[in-house]
Amino acid sequence: MSINATIDRVTDRIRNRSHASRAAYLKKIARAAEDGPRRAHLSCGNQAHAYAAMPDKDDMANTRKPNIGVVTAYNDMLSAHQPYERYPDLIRRSAHAVGATVQVAGGVPAMCDGVTQGRAGMELSLFSRDVIALATGVSLSHDCFDAALYLGVCDKIVPGLVIGAATFGHIPAVFLPAGPMPSGLPNDEKSKVRQQFAAGEVGREALMAAEMASYHSAGTCTFYGTANSNQMLMEFMGLHLPGSSFVNPNTPLRDALTVAGVERAAAITKLGNHYLPAGEILDEKAFVNGIVGLMTTGGSTNLVMHIPAMARAAGVLIDIEDFHDISESVPLMARVYPNGLADVNHFHAAGGIGYMIGQLLDAGMLHEDVKTIIGTGLDGYTTEPKLTGERVVWEDGAKETLNDKILRPVGDPFAVTGGLKQLEGNLGRGVIKVSAVAAERHVIEAKARVFSDQEAVKAAFKAGEFTEDTIVVVRFQGPRANGMPELHSLTPTLAVLQDRGLKVALLTDGRMSGASGKVPAAIHISPEASVGGPLSRVRDGDLIRMDATMGTIDCLAEDFDNRRPATFDPGPSSEGMGREMFSVFRATAGSATEGAGVVV
């Protein structure tokens, strides 16, 4: 099947936009690779320090066995990352069995957005991505590794690791997932209890019981938020083994996939005949494939910022117009919470990523001619892993959906477009995700209520101040103001107003969680208010029109362009909970439309 005309056009646009930066990047990683395995150039003293604690240090010093570095986001506070505790020993045994050695090169921080939602710590969340990239760089700076394994799952962790992997793009990279927790309390039931609590209909005891029944085990949260969107992305981009993203933790198949990942990392170093540096995999076609996957699954809007940042690290320049155009050209094939009632375990059982990739390849909506960690071509990602004894083998994946309420073919999708829209007007430029928003709410024209933080919105709600259709403007939430926290804790409040029959929407230069759904939210508005962006000129009572159909976002006040902007008071968000240490990040962060990066 020939490639879809829009996918081809967008890919060409990205290639042309990135011509100089991508060429410079490829030259850089070629220079880094040209001397052969880097550790061969370490002095005897350097090597002695590097291998002193290893039981097989003599092999390290005197043979050409591949040495694999592990960069891990393990901690036992995040349910998604707790399974990584047992990975190093399994990885070492697997590497030794194929004549390789392994060292844990370093750890990277991994914070849980579910813990920090609505709290001061959330203002460090986005910047943790760049810290992770920096920590990855420190881990790999010892120059001892012929390949790297990356252990990470959640929101900022995978993007940060990819930025690091791209920066060390001459080193082959294999990403090893940990998998989702088994299904617990259905996500829609949990959401209902949250709304009941916000409305004062149930107490904290009922809320806590629902939350604990939903988040109940080791593994990724089962809704289709940023963490699971990351896992989808790594598979669509060829950095995971096929079918490995949504296999539950601590199962025989999960362990077998980890073993296979180690074996593959050992096979693709420059010491062998199948050298596959990460930087060659991370080209414009891989990122386009990732965007297609994001749109056709109804994935997290956080990736609209993370993908440009990851791509920039590999010399590829992506704009939000690319997301918009791809979204308009691909169908929505999946309904996974918050875009439906199913969770990722149900999605995986219905045919999952392999089924979707097969459908999209047949329809010409993905680039097949890409490099992946398993070789050349994306067709291998239509297979699914099965156990034969303790070994994993790949068999043909599902050719038909096994549940058309969750997963549908390209020719009979849930919607003809991916559901993400670019918004542009006199209020700036941003995005809105409408895949879970009812069609009658795609256009909202209402008066503005302006706030400078989310707590003020909740206070106004509790005071009964929202009595008419309202566009809630929460400004000074961009990366250069307070680090661009997610505003997900507003979702239950706004959902209650919507359920009362009001038309409500959120307009912000901040972010919403990948779990946010049915309330229309225009997010990532740039330029942000703290640098004099248009949101700084909005006043209470202004009539605002948010039109996801036409892709516009405008303030209709006649004097809007001539107003003096409101000024940002950094005091409340400049200190406490470590925020003072991130002042240099806030001062230098890029715009949301370019990935809000500090290190890229």
HEC profile of 170-235? CCCEEEECCCECCCCCCHHHHHHHHHHHHCCCCCHHHHHHHHHHHCCCCCECCCCCHHHHHHHHHH
Q: What is the pLDDT of residues 283-338, one digit of tens each?
A: 999 999 999 999 999 999 999 999 999 999 999 999 999 999 999 999 999 999 88
Helix (H) or strand (E) holding 504: strand 504-508
Q: Tokens for 553, please give them.
A: 């976002």
**For residues 47-69, b (16+ Cβ closer than 10 Å) or e, as one string?**
beebbeebeeeebbeeeebbbbb
Question: How far apart are the C-alpha atoms of 109 and 74, rounded to whole Å?
Answer: 8
Asked whether residue 491 carries a pLDDT value surpassing 80, the answer given is yes
Give the HSE-up count for residue 390: Cα atoms under 13 Å, Cβ half-sphere: 4
Q: What is the pLDDT of residues 426-455, one digit of tens each?
A: 999 999 998 878 899 999 999 999 999 999
* Average pLDDT of the chain to the nearest whole number: 93
Question: How far apart are the C-alpha atoms of 386 and 287, rounded to whole Å?
Answer: 28
Q: What is the pLDDT of residue 57?
A: 67
Is 81 within 8 Å of 113 (Cβ atoms)?
no
Q: What is the pLDDT of residues 224-280, one digit of tens each?
A: 989 999 999 999 999 999 999 999 999 999 999 999 999 999 999 999 899 999 999
Question: How far apart are the C-alpha atoms of 129 and 111, rounded to whole Å?
Answer: 10
Q: What is the pLDDT of residues 19-36, one digit of tens each?
A: 999 999 999 999 999 876
Question: How far apart are the C-alpha atoms of 421 and 431, rounded to whole Å?
Answer: 6
Question: How far apart are the C-alpha atoms of 158 and 220, rounded to whole Å?
Answer: 13
Contacts for 196-199 with beta carbons within 8 Å, 24 or more apart?
A: 197/492, 198/461, 198/492, 198/493, 198/495, 198/496, 199/496
Q: Tokens for 405, please give them.
A: 């309420």
Looking at 21-30, 32-41, 176-185, which range is the least confident one? 32-41
Q: What is the pLDDT of residue 440?
A: 93
Over residues 165-189, the mean pLDDT reads 92
Tokens 């050695």 sit at which residue? 101
Confidence grade of residue 571 (pLDDT, cut at 50, 70, 90): confident
Question: How far apart are the C-alpha atoms of 152 and 133, rounded to whole Å?
Answer: 12
> 154 among the known binding-site residues?
yes
Q: What is the pLDDT of residues 88-105, one digit of tens each?
A: 999 999 999 999 999 999
The percentage of the chain sitting over the pLDDT mark of 90, rounded to a whole number, equals: 80
Which backbone phi and psi does 486 adopt, to 5 degrees?
Answer: -70, 145
Global pTM value: 0.94
Confidence grade of residue 49 (pLDDT, cut at 50, 70, 90): confident
DSSP letter (8 states) at residue 523: E
Which backbone phi and psi does 385 adopt, to 5 degrees?
Answer: -80, 140
Q: What is the pLDDT of residue 62?
A: 65
Q: What is the pLDDT of residue 515?
A: 60
Is 551 within 8 Å of 324 (Cβ atoms)?
yes
Asked whether residue 63 carries a pLDDT value surpassing 80, the answer given is no
